[in-house]
């Protein structure tokens, strides 16, 4: 079986048969809707990421449970991601995206109610609903990628993710600005999450079947031949170096980012910095995460997703190494900013590799499996951050994270080496 090459990002391959591209008006409208929905999602999630730990501390019966609601964002997302894929396979992406925004609406209302009634368990349920929304929103980028031919998919993914730039800058400030507007602290912030979910429902309701499903139109020519071939098993798909590199990159990128994002504010306070300083560290971390989207797509198209993934791993490693050199506010800012940049490069390029590992009829299965691993990395990172920080300390925690980054780099190099024969064959084709 031929393996998709590193030129995955520039040429068609067996694992990444290009989908029939919808008409320009549908594609333009769909990209606008998906990018807007991504922005609204990131606005909401940035509020949750900024305040859920503090709200959990307010409601938790014991301090040890204060970080549980924060972890449930990732756990809820991980648990829902594969069912979300199956649901959208049978009901369509528009229906799935609306369900996701409905979960965010439920989460916002439930969180406000929990704060008003001081119910920790109810608050945990509300935050888990936010995680469910994250699971469905994770497919916005794939919906965009599937509308474009292979050489455009990385750019499409980064375009959708760029919707988070405004949210990264404004979200944390907005979260704290409105937290006291309600009768109880933080109710104003979670009421805003509810409003954002309502707006998201309205935006996503404008999608049509042509917008989200046209990419699945019947293929022709070489594409049809690939579709007529014997169906591949999950094992055959998973053995592809391009799939392994994409999943490993996305998973490790998310694991590293979530671990340090959860631990950094606590480590900063323990190092003698203020809570405001800790929030500023997270703000710049989020700017690094989403502002990089303007560069990650063009970079992926220019040098290939595999090489972009290696750059992302190197930038993340540089961020972790920076954290080893000091505990000043500047050290925290630079380290978390670099981790954010590295995450975006690994996430976009990893997603592009996964998007080139499946045939059209395999997309729901493969995207679902890929998301399980990606969000699994996020969930493990969020759950492990506190205990690992307590056991190892900030510096040793960062040093330990260099290991999975190195593993991701090794898997990516293996993919690039496996791609060379395929690339050479393409260059010699008449």
Taking residues 413-427, what's their average pLDDT?
69
Specify the pLDDT at position 67. Answer: 73
| CA atoms of 18 and 151, how far apart (whole Å) | 9
Largest CA distance in the chain: 73
Place of tokens 């690094």: 288
Residues 268-292: pLDDT tens digits? 888 888 867 777 788 788 888 878 8
Specify the pLDDT at position 250. Answer: 93
Greatest mean pLDDT among 207-216, 271-280, 351-360, 421-430 lies in 351-360
Query: Which of the 8 DSSP states describes residue 130?
Result: H
- Go through the chain and tell me how many residues it has: 430
Helices within 233-292 (DSSP H only): 234-238, 241-270, 275-291
- Does residue 221 carry a pLDDT above 70? no
Domains 1-19+233-430 and 22-214 share a fold: yes
- What's the topology of domain 22-214? Growth Hormone; Chain: A; (1.20.1250)
Specify the pLDDT at position 52. Answer: 83
- Does residue 219 carry a pLDDT above 60? no
| CA atoms of 190 and 66, how far apart (whole Å) | 17
Specify the pLDDT at position 300. Answer: 86
Cβ within 8 Å of residue 25, ≥6 positions away: none
Specify the pLDDT at position 22. Answer: 45
> pLDDT confidence of 212, banded at 50, 70, 90?
low
Which of 402, 415, 277, 265 is closest to 342 using CA atoms? Answer: 402
Q: What is the residue extent of each domain of the chain?
A: 1-19+233-430, 22-214
Specify the pLDDT at position 369. Answer: 83
Least confident of 35-44, 302-311, 334-343, 371-380: 371-380
| CA atoms of 235 and 364, how far apart (whole Å) | 16
Q: Domain 1-19+233-430 in CATH: superfamily?
A: MFS general substrate transporter like domains (1.20.1250.20)
| CA atoms of 47 and 54, how far apart (whole Å) | 11
% of the chain surpassing 70 pLDDT: 85
Residue 108: its H or E element: helix 93-117
Residues 288-336: pLDDT tens digits? 887 887 788 788 888 998 999 999 999 999 999 999 999 999 999 999 9
Specify the pLDDT at position 419. Answer: 76
The backbone region for 176, taken as left when phi is positive above 0, alpha when psi lies in -120 to 50, beta otherwise, is alpha
Name which residue leads in pLDDT, 145 or 253. 253
Tokens of 414: 């293996």
Cβ within 8 Å of residue 185, ≥6 positions away: 58, 115, 179
> pLDDT confidence of 411, banded at 50, 70, 90?
very high
Specify the pLDDT at position 4. Answer: 38
Residue 111: its H or E element: helix 93-117
* DSSP state string for 289-356: HHHTHHHHHHHHHHH-HHHHHHHHHHHHHHHHHHHTT--SHHHHHHHHHHHHHHHHHHHHHHHHHHHT
Residues 88-144: pLDDT tens digits? 888 888 999 999 999 999 999 999 999 999 999 999 999 999 999 999 998 888 788
Determine the 3-state secondary structure of 4 from DSSP. Answer: coil
Give backbone dihedrals phi and psi of 21, rounded to 5 degrees, phi first.
Answer: -85, 130
Name which residue leads in pLDDT, 151 or 254. 254
Determine the 3-state secondary structure of 265 from DSSP. Answer: helix
Specify the pLDDT at position 151. Answer: 67
């Amino acid at each position: 079986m031929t393996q998709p090459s590193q030129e995955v990002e520039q040429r068609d391959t067996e694992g990444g048969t290009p989908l029939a591209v919808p008409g320009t008006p549908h594609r333009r409208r769909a990209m606008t809707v998906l990018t807007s929905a991504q922005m609204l999602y990131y606005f909401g999630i940035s509020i949750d990421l900024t305040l859920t730990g503090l709200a959990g501390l307010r409601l938790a019966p014991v301090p040890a449970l204060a970080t549980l609601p924060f972890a449930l964002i990732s756990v809820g997302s991980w648990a829902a991601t594969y069912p979300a894929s199956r649901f959208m396979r049978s009901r369509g992406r528009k229906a799935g995206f609306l369900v996701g925004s409905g979960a965010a609406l439920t989460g916002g209302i439930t969180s406000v109610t929990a704060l008003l009634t001081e119910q920790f368990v109810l608050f945990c349920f509300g935050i888990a609903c936010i995680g469910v929304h994250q699971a469905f929103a994770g497919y916005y980028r794939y919906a965009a990628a599937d509308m474009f031919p292979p050489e455009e998919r990385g750019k499409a993914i980064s375009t959708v993710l760029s919707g988070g730039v405004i949210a990264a800058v404004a979200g944390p400030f907005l979260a704290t600005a409105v937290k006291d507007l309600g009768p109880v602290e933080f109710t104003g912030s979670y009421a805003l999450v509810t409003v954002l979910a309502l707006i998201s429902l309205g935006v996503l309701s404008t999608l049509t079947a042509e917008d989200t499903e046209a990419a699945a139109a019947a293929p022709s020519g070489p594409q049809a031949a690939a579709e007529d071939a014997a169906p591949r098993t999950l094992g055959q798909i998973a053995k592809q170096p391009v799939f392994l590199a994409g999943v490993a990159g996305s998973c490790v990128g998310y694991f590293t980012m979530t671990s340090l994002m959860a631990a950094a504010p606590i480590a900063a306070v323990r190092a003698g910095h203020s809570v405001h300083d800790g929030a500023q560290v997270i703000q710049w971390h989020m700017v690094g995460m989403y502002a990089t989207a303007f560069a990650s797509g063009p970079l992926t198209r220019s040098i290939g997703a595999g090489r972009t993934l290696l750059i992302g791993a190197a930038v993340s490693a540089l961020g972790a190494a920076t954290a080893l050199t000091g505990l000043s506010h500047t050290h925290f800012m630079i380290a978390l900013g670099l981790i954010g940049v590295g995450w975006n490069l690994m996430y976009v390029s990893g997603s592009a590799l996964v998007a080139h590992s499946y045939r059209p009829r395999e997309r729901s299965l493969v995207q679902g499996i890929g998301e399980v691993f990606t969000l699994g990395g996020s969930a493990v990172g969020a759950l492990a951050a506190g205990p690992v920080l307590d056991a190892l300390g900030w510096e040793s925690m960062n040093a330990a994270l260099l290991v999975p980054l190195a593993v991701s780099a090794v898997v990516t190099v293996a993919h690039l080496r496996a791609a060379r024969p395929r690339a050479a064959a393409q260059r010699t084709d008449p």
